[in-house]
């Protein structure tokens, strides 16, 4: 009977054993991991958060960020790593602001091509729809046009098709804003603008 408390105590000891600490990354691994995270953040991220995510000592993260920032500056890159709002984030360098501004503004003002408009219409009325379905309806490969529409923020991926695993596409909130619509249900009826046999042609491509 005297063994019972000892067994219970041993069980409690085993239950409270702390997990093993994460292995320490080499300087090269830490640098690469930090750069990968900083490429995808859309707001400054703190050293503490980065240390927690990477499971590395916080005292290593700060100096490595300083080293990365200094390296970018010394190499003359068009971007820099900068402290801002209590965290770190990549920014374009001020001396290149004119070119960045020109690119952003031109990208917003350039009109869509006829092919892009046709593809956008197919997505709008058939969504969610796959690339192959869009290409079949238009009769041409639409991969490049779809990439353009995704880049412009007018369409987006919305899952995959159950049978084929192909990506599905739909219109975005920006698309509705540009057309002044609340939902896609407010799109005008398409039938009056189509030839009589369009549905038979579309069904034949499925």
What digits encode the pLDDT tens for the residues 142-198? 888 998 899 888 999 998 888 888 899 999 988 888 887 888 888 888 655 554 444
Sign of CA dihedral 32, 35, 41, 44: positive
| C-alpha torsion angle, residues 86, 87, 92, 95 (rounded to 10) | 40
The alpha carbon dihedral of 33, 34, 35, 37 has a sign of positive
Cα 22 to Cα 49: distance, rounded to the nearest angstrom: 16
The answer to the question of residue 126 being in a domain is yes
What's 2's DSSP letter?
T
**Contact criterion met (CB below 8 Å) for 131 and 166:** yes
pLDDT on residue 15: 53
Mean pLDDT of 35-60: 91
In terms of Cα–Cα distance, which of 169, 170, 201 is closest to 184?
170
Shared-domain flag, residues 82 and 119 = no
Same domain? 88 vs 142: no
What number of helices (H) and strands (E) belong to the chain? 10, 5
So what's the pLDDT on residue 10?
A: 52
Residue 1: pLDDT band with limits 50, 70, 90: very low
Q: Is residue 46 part of a domain?
A: yes
Query: What global pTM score does this model have?
Result: 0.47
pLDDT value, residue 148: 87
- The structural domain count of the chain equals 2
Say if residue 129 is in the same domain as residue 89.
no
Helix (H, G, I), strand (E, B), or coil: what is residue 155? strand
Query: Which H or E run contains 84?
Result: strand 79-84
> Which range of residues forms the domain containing residue 64?
27-95
CATH of the domain at 155: 1.10.10.10
Per-residue pLDDT at 135 exceeds 80: yes
Does residue 63 surpass a pLDDT of 90?
yes
């Amino acid at each position: 009977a005297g063994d019972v408390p000892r067994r219970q105590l041993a069980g409690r000891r085993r239950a409270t054993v702390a997990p093993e600490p994460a292995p320490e990354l080499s300087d090269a691994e830490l640098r690469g991991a930090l750069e990968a995270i900083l490429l995808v953040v859309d707001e400054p991220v703190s050293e503490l958060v980065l240390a927690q995510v990477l499971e590395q000592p916080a005292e290593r993260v700060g100096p490595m960020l300083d080293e990365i920032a200094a390296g970018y500056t010394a190499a003359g890159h068009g971007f820099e790593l900068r402290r801002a709002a209590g965290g770190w984030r990549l920014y374009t360098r001020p001396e290149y602001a004119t070119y960045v501004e020109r690119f952003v503004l031109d990208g917003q003002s350039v009109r869509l091509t006829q092919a892009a408009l046709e593809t956008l219409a197919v997505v709008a009325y058939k969504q969610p729809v796959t690339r192959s379905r869009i290409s079949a309806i238009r009769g041409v490969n639409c991969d490049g046009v779809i990439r353009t529409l995704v880049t412009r923020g007018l369409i987006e991926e919305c899952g995959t098709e159950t049978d084929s695993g192909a990506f599905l596409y739909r219109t975005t909130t920006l698309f509705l804003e540009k057309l002044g619509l609340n939902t896609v249900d407010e799109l005008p009826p398409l039938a009056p603008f189509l030839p009589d046999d369009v549905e038979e042609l579309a069904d034949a491509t499925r």
